[in-house]
Structure 1
Amino acid sequence: MKKLSAVFTLLALVSATSFADDSSLPSAPAADVAQLKEVCQQMASEDQVENAELTQYVLDCVNDQLTEIGYKSVTEVN
């Protein structure tokens, strides 16, 4: 339930826009990416993701959320 609540909170922060192709999407502001990263790390902790898989889990999670709210995917999350 915490994960779902966090996702809805993030979606409320940014207006959703649908685009057909990632190259035409705008880049997300760094603050939004940082906030998504934090939420995704919390989700990883709740899901007990192993350290070896943590980086990929967080990256996939952030990109899923970015795509859902109408931003380009990122190649890395610092």
Structure 2
Amino acid sequence: MGLPSVRLHDLRHGAASLAGAAGVELKVIQHDLGHSSAVTTADTYWTVFRELAHGAVAATAELLRSHADLG
């Protein structure tokens, strides 16, 4: 079908990233993956999707605007 090969481990990374994008807490993802450290989960298994990054920038900009001295 012309699709790239996918390893089971790749699916694990994808599942962790999708869970993070869905708002699942890092400690829950850590537990589900069986990691002893959330640092391993965050640094190795979690990808920041473009939409999340844009949302974070927008939220930060809105916070700055709401606290700006416009007087």
Taking structure 1 as the reference length, the TM-score comes to 0.37
Taking structure 2 as the reference length, the TM-score comes to 0.40
Look at both structures and tell me which one has the larger radius of gyration over its CA atoms.
2
Q: RCO higher in 1 or 2 (8 Å CA, sep ≥ 6)? A: 1
